Amino acid sequence: MADEFSSYREGLSDVADNAAAVTPNDSADLSTTARALYIGTGGDLKVTLVGSGTVTFSSYPSGTWMPLRVQRVFASGTTATGIVAVW
């Protein structure tokens, strides 16, 4: 199938066209910086953001989107599961 939009430059507010399950890791960044995270099962989420360092979001709800540019999801401090990164 032809991709009618392949020559367009993507912006941060555009829909994502890539996704991958996230395995939280204390020492490694995501392979690609995420534009957003989907949280399957809620809980705490400790992340490193592109511009402002590391932060923990407490009691993040299940089945919601986190529209932040994330480069790392930590294993320690993260209790949320079913995390998917999109970019």
pLDDT at 87 over 80: yes
Is the pTM higher than 0.95? Answer: no
**pLDDT tens by residue, 30-76:** 999 999 999 999 999 999 999 989 999 999 999 999 999 999 999 99
Asked if 85 and 22 touch (Cβ cutoff 8 Å), the reply is yes
Q: Pick the residue with more confidence: 10 or 86?
A: 86
Asked if 76 and 46 touch (Cβ cutoff 8 Å), the reply is yes
Asked if 3 and 34 touch (Cβ cutoff 8 Å), the reply is no
Q: What was the pLDDT predicted at 8?
A: 64
Closest CA to 60 of 81, 75, 32: 81
